[in-house]
Structure 1
Amino acid sequence: MSGAIPPGSQDVAKASDRLTFVYLERCIVHRDSNALTATDDRGTVHIPMAMIGALLLGPGTRITHAAMSVIGAAGASVIWVGEGSVRCYAAGRPLARSTRLLEAQARAFSSQKARLRIAREMYEMRFPDEDVSHLTMQQLRGREGARVRKIYAAESQRTSVDWVRRDYKAGDIADSDPVNQALSSANSCLYGVIAAVIHSLGMAPGLGFVHVGHDLSFVYDVADLFKAETTIPAAFDVVASGSVDPVNDVRRLLRDRLMAEGVMERAVKILRDLFLDGATAKEEPLIMYDEALSIWSGRSDNRLSSGQNYG
């Protein structure tokens, strides 16, 4: 076949080492060798896709088949962003060729005891000064609601931005006050970044431990771990600055903060720590690259080599 040879799994950056996201709008996205190009009436920009976690495509964007092929080979996520809502329509093949993390996630999801343990550990990450080891899910939700309200109130006091409540209408970001518009826009970008990490590690975005019933439930679970230090203060800061375009200004501010806070690297570590024991977690390089396909033996987690006839 003609054209550039697509990058192999060892030729692209690990999820923890990537840039967070690139947002594009009103342009044509194409491919030049193993890079993406974004072209509008001002010219063409080259984007090294192997270093990007998520590509956010805004209004007026067109993308070619060739561009999608290099995105898939790079194991990145593509999210179409429209008026305050995010829909993850496409994702490249995971960087992980092992299903180790996916299997660990599925085992924890299918056990009520393990599922509650994961939920508690997530809450402990958000509120480290509280002991939640004995709380039920109902009690955890109550604690979370009270703490999140305090976070909004503290940001309002810090920035002198009026705050009433979280208020937004899905699909109509303009139907809310400026700080809620900024929050919706910022959260959309964060969801795209977290979706990229989850896809890259080969995990299931729909198997959530706090959120349920949605194909991005686990994305919302993990994103909640970072909102208090990223999207919420960014939204209040943008409005406090007097921005007349909070939806777009907060995206630019958040992009810098996600990089400065190392959100992608930290998200990878959190997922490994939640689902892998210490010895297995140290084998991360093995998780990222090709592993031999196996056949389940029918007993516990024993496996047989594939490519053989066992008849």
Structure 2
Amino acid sequence: MPRDLHELPKLRDSLSYLYLEHGHIEQDTLSVQFIDKAGRIPIPAASLAALLLGPGTTITHAAVKALADNGCSIVWCGEDGVRCYAQGSGETRRAYHVLKQAALVCDPSRREQVVRRMYELRFDHRLPEGLSLPQVRGLEGVRVRTAYARASQEFGVPWRGRRYDRSNWGQSDPINRALSAANACLNGICHAAIVSAGYSPALGFIHTGKQLSFVYDIADLYKVELTVPVAFRVTAEGTVNLESRARQECRRVFKEARLLDRIVPDIEWLLDVPVEVPEYSEDVDADAACPTPLWEALLGEEDGVSDGGDDSGEGAGVAAG
């Protein structure tokens, strides 16, 4: 029986993320557990926002179901959390948010309003009137370069620019590896929040064309504040276990900054641009098998029926030709 998603804790009350690699995850009688050569470790499925699965992990169908039922987003990623390969589901079954997101993305005027809001949130103040988007992007470039230079001076870590070879990770300099590891953690948390709130990770406003475009949009709101200082600080402390220490420091900093409290409200403010979006009365979060409404254009004046399928997603309402 699918769980009523209203029973789950709010995202802001959840733990941020857990990264695991080289082990097996299964559901036993009491909990989801991670098993490796060191033993068995329970995973707090009901209070975890995102589970990041690195190389060498296997997971059973029952464990995936338990995590999904508890609103824990599963992200399959590369070593040290760098790169995302696949994702699981979040804490809502409603489509309203993604419909609104799609309506805004597909309207150039409204999309520009959202983009300007994104830059204003990064700058923490309203932008001057009359600036073109390329001009705004130029100001953002100055802001980011200044942040890198300031962190380099503060922590005494040389900075030669943001560059690394994806095909030869180990040849990157330590600060770039630390930045990539920290940003991967941030992407994972933003990804989990986006999916949990019912938005699409693919429908970006600044970034576009990839399945994670909106994740990059949202993560960029917090990089200068959170991951840039983390990366420079852990690099200044030494290069042994650098990526692991960057992840651990991210977990601490994300908690102190109450990041999970902020992401969804920030998204709601960013997308608070008037646009017409259909709303439906069915509470699919309480009942996963609730019949699906049909697009209004398919209905006659005396219609008003829902999809005749026995389960959500079954297309019994489509007539055969």
Q: Same fold (TM over 0.5)?
A: yes
Shift in Å, 1:33:
4.2
Give, as a single letter, the amino acid of the residue that structure 2 aligns with 1:174. G
Q: Name 1:127's counterpart in structure 2.
A: 123
| Bigger shift: residues 118-127 or 38-47 | 38-47
Aligned match for 1:174, one of 154, 170, 184: 170
Matched, 1:148 2:147: no
Equivalents in 1 of 2:183, 2:283: separation in Å?
Answer: 29
Equivalents in 1 of 2:256, 2:283: separation in Å?
Answer: 26
Aligned match for 2:86, one of 84, 89, 112: 89
Shift in Å, 1:44:
1.0
Identity %: 36
Provide TM-score, normalisation by structure 1: 0.87
Shift in Å, 1:76:
2.4
Q: Name 1:271's counterpart in structure 2.
A: 267
The 1:136–1:287 alpha-carbon spacing in structure 2 relative to 1, beyond 3 Å, is: farther
- Given that residues 208 and 218 in structure 1 are in contact (C-alpha distance below 8 angstroms), is that contact kept between their aligned partners in structure 2? yes
Give, as a single letter, the amino acid of the residue that structure 2 aligns with 1:35. S
Shift in Å, 1:71:
2.0
> What secondary structure sits across from 1:230 in the alignment?
helix
Shift in Å, 1:119:
0.6
Shift in Å, 1:261:
1.0
Matched, 1:225 2:194: no
Deviations 1:233-273 (A, max 9, x none): 00001011124121111000101111111112200101122
Provide TM-score, normalisation by structure 2: 0.84
- Given that residues 97 and 202 in structure 1 are in contact (C-alpha distance below 8 angstroms), is that contact kept between their aligned partners in structure 2? yes
Shift in Å, 1:45:
1.1
Q: How does 1:22-171 map to 2 (within 5 A)?
A: 22-33=18-29, 35-83=31-79, 85-92=82-89, 94-129=90-125, 131-171=127-167
The 1:63–1:133 alpha-carbon spacing in structure 2 relative to 1, beyond 3 Å, is: farther
Aligned match for 1:247, one of 224, 243, 265: 243
Q: Name 1:185's counterpart in structure 2.
A: 181
- Given that residues 98 and 290 in structure 1 are in contact (C-alpha distance below 8 angstroms), is that contact kept between their aligned partners in structure 2? no
Q: How large is the RMSD of aligned CA atoms in angstroms? A: 2.9
Matched, 1:214 2:210: yes
Gaps of 5+ in 2: 275-281, 309-316
Equivalents in 1 of 2:18, 2:304: separation in Å?
Answer: 42
- Given that residues 120 and 132 in structure 1 are in contact (C-alpha distance below 8 angstroms), is that contact kept between their aligned partners in structure 2? no
- Given that residues 101 and 272 in structure 1 are in contact (C-alpha distance below 8 angstroms), is that contact kept between their aligned partners in structure 2? no
Give, as a single letter, the amino acid of the residue that structure 1 aligns with 2:294. I
Equivalents in 2 of 1:166, 1:228: separation in Å?
Answer: 13
Equivalents in 1 of 2:30, 2:192: separation in Å?
Answer: 19
Shift in Å, 1:298:
3.2
- Given that residues 294 and 307 in structure 2 are in contact (C-alpha distance below 8 angstroms), is that contact kept between their aligned partners in structure 1? no
Q: Name 2:296's counterpart in structure 1.
A: 297
Equivalents in 2 of 1:128, 1:43: separation in Å?
Answer: 47
Equivalents in 1 of 2:284, 2:16: separation in Å?
Answer: 18
> What secondary structure sits across from 1:294 in the alignment?
coil
Deviations 1:118-147 (A, max 9, x none): 011010011124525533222222111111
Give, as a single letter, the amino acid of the residue that structure 2 aligns with 1:256. R
Shift in Å, 1:98:
2.1
- Given that residues 202 and 210 in structure 2 are in contact (C-alpha distance below 8 angstroms), is that contact kept between their aligned partners in structure 1? yes
Shift in Å, 1:179:
0.6
Give, as a single letter, the amino acid of the residue that structure 2 aligns with 1:190. L
Shift in Å, 1:287:
8.6
Equivalents in 1 of 2:121, 2:74: separation in Å?
Answer: 28
Q: Name 2:313's counterpart in structure 1.
A: none
Equivalents in 1 of 2:60, 2:76: separation in Å?
Answer: 14
User: How many pairs does the alignment contain?
Assistant: 299
